[in-house]
Structure 1
Amino acid sequence: MMSDAYNNLAIEFCGIKSPNPFWLASAPPTDKAYNVIRAFEAGWGGVVWKTLGEDPPAVNVSSRYSAIYGKNREVIGFNNIELITDRSLEQNLREITAVKEAWPDRAIVVSLMLPCEEHYWADILPKVEATGADGIELNFGCPHGMPERGMGAAVGQVPDYVRMVTAWCKQHSKLPVIVKLTPNITDIRHPARAAHQGGADAVSLINTINSITSIDLDRMVALPTVGSSSTHGGYCGTAVKPIALNMVAEIARDPETRGLPISGIGGIGNWRDAAEFIVLGAGCVQVCTAAMLHGFRIVEEMKDGLSRWMDAQGYRTIEDFRGKAVPNTTDWKYLDMNYKVIAQINQQDCIGCGRCYVACEDTSHQAIARLVDEASGKRTYQVIQEECVGCNLCEITCPVQNCITMMPQQTGKPYMNWTQDPRNPRAEKVPTAA
């Protein structure tokens, strides 16, 4: 058994101890003992075992995956139509028991998905508890295949069902209950509140997003293709990280769920991604797509990077910085209307490509001037300060990192948000000092 050298990464998440916050999410990488053992040998702190269900087990189709590619065929978005485990309940329970006995220091959480009838949950929970597993995760997020059977996202989209099933699990099991939430909903706070009301020990999010990644224009069918047809699947990978971060933050700062432990999921592929989820309130993170694309050994770089960053920042434990960005995350109406930045171009770093000029001239505020030296023909670009609104578009389009920076301006004006702004027809009156 491999020991974990990164002592500052140890966590306790809703009573579950783990040598580090990096867990594998419930998915193909955690489908069987062989995979999980390889993951633990590589250094993962825990796994959420691929979702168990009733017998007979689910039957999967072929093919199952598709992707959206960036440059050099880098996978930026991943889509799947795979269902929960297609192995028997007895076989999964036997393997979970054996792996937990062999790796007592690693977290093993068992994902579950069953019909919305109490007797199914009352029957399976003692069996899971007998394996020695550390907790259960209720899969209320799967967006394909299972919702048609009244499970997965069909439960997660109805707060009353979330509350009801969570309460059943708390009644019939002593294990920590983690509720996995679907992002395919208008307001993530409602099912999170319902889980909290049902007694959930934690929530995990996000599950995958309904998607069709692409169409084969020759065959006129979406990918992945099963015979001559296809269906929507679950989208994950780097592309979903911004959505996941927002939903984690919404739960972390909601007064009704504030303090509820969160396991962050969605597009995590390196230590920095993990740190971003943690500063928004996550107590651990779950990884799937990055492991499927690059293998289990990516966790070593994740642990090393996070540990080194913590040392550099003076953080002794994960708890020292967990949630630190939550107080700085607010509603738009509370942002400072008097804060101002202006773009600044470093002429020494500028390569004269003109991308900032084109973007600003065509689609923004015409705040960049293109100057041409008559003698040499050399082009230079300068910000027209009185026209710049500080939108960041030029900085984003510039191919040279840090060539364009957004410089704060001294306005001499105090903080004023939109609820106080006289330009707001519904502005609130600001009390004056006595």
Structure 2
Amino acid sequence: RGMGSAVGQEPKVNERITGWAKEFAKVPVLVKLTPNVGDIVPHGLAAQRGGADGVSLINTIKSIIGVDIDRFVPEPRVAGLSTNGGYCGAAVRPIALHMTAALSRDPGFHLPISGIGGITNWRDALEFILLGSSSVQVCTEVMLRGYRIVEDMIEGLETYMSERGFERLDQLVGKAVPAYSEWGDLDLNYETVAKIDASACIGCQLCMVACHDGAHQCIHPNPDGSRVPTIDEDECVGCNLCQIVCPVPQCISMVQVPNGYTPATWNEHVEAGAQLRPKKGAH
């Protein structure tokens, strides 16, 4: 059936191999879960049924890093041929965080989680911990910067905990999990609009270009000719794109605006006819 990634995509095989490992292992067994699946939860539960002492996630993501456009072969080449490899590093962190949280919030899953995937500093490590990891692992960043980053992570976490009155790391494990919900349970009447800090704006116009070409055409040149664009709040849907492209930290913020509507989710709208605020924006 193949090696790690292949067998990790079949829960029954995962469970069986975990059982074999537990039968003979003299040390705790952690099952490293592959992200090359649609839903990570059945695979974590399979490891649990197999007797694992914990799971670690995620492993690398199947990928092709690029293509040699002169030789017409994917990179890297081995005697003129190539294949897929495992994508890792900072870019996979959002995927790893999602899968960590998905396991943490499942009521049937009870094993310790060791978080892996794109951890580069103490803040990254803390995010995994807040989403349910009781430990974290780092590979790529150590390859790039060496083991000295571990001391930096410890120092950063200790400072964070001291400033906020936490005495033990386990007080932080899973603290953000209750706030991770489903799309259908989010308040659709919650409304935000973008606000630009005129004192911080450098007039690069990146927000205006992004909004015009990729969002809702609600950011416009200032009529008075100043460098700071204006925002048409009647059209702004709070998509956050302008804030993402802005090169100046804290220059653009998303501010909640009262609209008089009672909080209501999509599920409440479908099941009980809860009133939703009118849609706005060009599309």
Question: Could you say which TM-score interval applies, normalised by the shorter chain?
Answer: over 0.9
Report matched runs for 1:248-267 at 5 Å: 248-257=100-109, 259-267=110-118
Q: 1:26-37 to 2 correspondence within 5 Å?
A: none
Larger Rg: 1
Assess, with a 3 A threshold, how the Cα gap between structure 1 residues 169 and 430 changes in structure 2: closer, same or farther. farther
Q: Which residue of 2 aligns with 1:222?
A: 74
Deviation at 1:172, TM superposition (A): 2.6
Q: Supply the AA of the counterpart residue of 1:203.
A: V
Tell me which protein shows more strand as a share of its residues.
1
Question: SS state of the match for residue 62, structure 2?
Answer: strand
Counterpart of 1:338 in structure 2 is 189
Q: Tell me the equivalent position of 1:166.
A: 18
**Match of 1:428, SS?**
helix
Q: TM-score, normalised by structure 2?
A: 0.93
1:342–1:390 contact (8 Å) kept in structure 2: yes
Determine what percentage of the aligned residue pairs are the same residue. Answer: 52
Conserved? CA contact 2:202–2:227, under 8 Å:
no
- Opposite residue 302 of structure 1, the aligned amino acid is M
Equivalence for 1:280: 131
Q: Is 1:292 paired with 2:143?
A: yes
**What secondary structure, in the 3-state scheme, does the structure 2 residue paired with 1:186 have?**
coil
Return the letter of the residue paired with 1:400: V
Code of the aligned partner of 2:82: S
Residues matched between the structures, number = 274
The corresponding residue for 2:244 is 396
Shift of 1:415: 2.4
Mapped to 2, the partners of 1:380 and 1:179 lie a distance apart of 53
Cα deviation for residue 227 of structure 1 reads: 2.5
The Cα shift of 1:174 comes to 4.6
**Counterpart of 2:246 in structure 1: which amino acid?**
C
1:372–1:379 Cα contact (<8 Å) kept: no
For 1:281-430, list aligned pairs within 5 A.
281-373=132-224, 377-421=225-269, 427-429=270-272
Local SS of the residue matching 1:380: coil
Query: Secondary structure, in 3 states, of the residue corresponding to 1:307?
Result: helix
Could you tell me which runs of 5 or more consecutive residues in structure 2 were left unpaired when the two chains were aligned: 275-283
Decide whether the 8 Å contact of 2:219 with 2:232 is kept in 1.
Answer: yes
For 1:256, what is the secondary structure of its paired residue?
coil
Q: Which runs of 4+ in 1 moved over 4 A?
A: none
Q: Aligned-residue CA RMSD in angstroms?
A: 1.6
The amino acid that maps onto 1:287 is: V
Does structure 2 retain, via aligned residues, the 8 Å contact 1:205–1:263?
A: yes
List per-residue Cα deviations over 1:34-73 (Å, max 9, x = no partner): xxxxxxxxxxxxxxxxxxxxxxxxxxxxxxxxxxxxxxxx
Q: 2:47 aligns with which of 195, 211, 234?
A: 195
Offset at residue 303 of structure 1 (A): 1.0
Displacement after TM superposition at 1:276 (Å)? 0.3
| SS of 2:271 mapped into structure 1 | coil
Match of 2:279 in 1: none
- 1:153 paired to 2:1: no
| 1:180 aligned residue | 32
SS in 1 for 2:266: coil
TM-score by length of 1: 0.61
